[in-house]
Amino acid sequence: MYVAKLLFLFIVPYNISAANPDPKTDGKWVIVIDPGHGGIDPGALGSISKEKNINLAIALKTAEYIRENIKNVNVVLTRTDDSTVDLIERPKIANRNNADLFISIHTNSTKGSKSVMGAETWIMGLASNEENLEVAMKENEVILLEDDYSTKYQGFDPKSPESYIIFTLTQSVYQRQSTDLASKIQTQLTEKIDRKDRGVKQAGFWVLFNTTMPSVLVETGFITNQSEERYLNSKQGQDSFASAIFRACKDYIDDIDNKSSISVGETGATTKNNSGTLLPAGKTVFMVQVATAVTRTEIKPENFKGLTDIIEINAQDRFKYATGIFDEYSQAVKYRKKIETIYPDAFVIAVKDNKILPLQQALEQRRKK
């Protein structure tokens, strides 16, 4: 009976696919950085510091590194000072800003051995063991500090293992991308700044539950470990964590851009859709690539999840399939957002004279006009 009530409570209010904010129109990447805790919520307590202050310092420095070193990126922070931001509001900030990435920065703690140390990066998912569940419970308990939390969170009890059944009701379409980002962050933390590797894990974090983009939660280190707490509070340590997260973001963005920036040497391509329509000659247009294959796929709706405007681009030894023909990049971005629930790995490409152009080159050419 209790489980049945939980199912009834959560199926409707927290269906992630229902959240569909208006897409951005300026063509920029939007990264939302969330310094965990803050204000009345200190987070974990160490012998000389509070988690909320460490999180904010690393987040501010991460935002600075990204703004200074990655072009065409807008960084939004869920807080920029020691203010209180409800847990339910943090993913909403990301959704309202139509973020491409959401990174929540935290500092770990343990009630056990004070020798425990290391960094770990989390994605949204069902906890695979009791230890993972305990970490999620610890981070979710912040809602108990909020007024009328039972109503706001639809009866969710962060201390009750039974409540975590809600996280089995939906599978994020961004799980693969979130895992990719988490892996890049974890690699930077362990290989570049030599933190002990505690791995990429998953559990039911409320702050990740309702985001509509790839999302991760980073536990930078243990405030309950004396040496790690000193490092987390040092300028060197905070700079190192920030630079690691920044580099991971850059690597992630570069990977996506490389997908969109297929070699200009792919000449001799031909394009057609199911009606035989050719792309406009001599004009750069923006499209959304949804698939690639080494063998030709018959263009019909049932082969492309119901899409009826698929165009085939035959480039050397593979076939690329794209949809939509747009004069403006922002229009293609908007269309990608529209279809990302059925094609979460879709990305925008630029095409001219039957060739795929580097996306950044096409955007720069447009800006010069």
Taking the CA of residue 254 as centre, how many other CA atoms within 13 Å lie in the half-sphere pointing to its CB? 9
CA distance 50 to 281: 61
Cβ-proximal residues to 81 (8 Å cutoff; 6+ apart), any chain? 56
Is 61:131 a contact under the CB 8 Å cutoff?
A: no
Cα angle, residue 306 at apex, residues 305 and 309 outer, rounded to 5°: 110
In the chain, what are the domains? Answer: 2-258 (3.40.630.40), 270-368 (no CATH)
Name the β-bridge partners of 77.
33
- Give the pairing type, strands 197-203 and 119-124: parallel
Coil, helix or strand at residue 217: strand
pLDDT, residue 7, reads 35
pLDDT, residue 179, reads 92
CA distance 96 to 22: 8
DSSP letter (8 states) at residue 41:
B
Per DSSP (E only), the strands in 149-267 are: 197-203, 215-222
pLDDT, residue 316, reads 62
pLDDT, residue 25, reads 37
Coil, helix or strand at residue 326: strand
> What is the per-residue DSSP string for 252-318?
HHHHHHHHHS--TT--S-EEEETT-PPPPTT--EEEEEEEEESS----SGGGTTT-S-EEEEEETTE
Question: What are the 10-residue block averages of pLDDT along the chain, 369 residues in total?
Answer: 35 34 55 97 97 98 96 94 95 92 97 93 80 81 82 77 66 79 96 95 86 93 98 97 97 77 37 52 88 81 88 75 90 89 87 80 75
CA distance 324 to 156: 42
Cα angle, residue 290 at apex, residues 71 and 342 outer, rounded to 5°: 105
Indicate the pTM of the whole model. 0.67
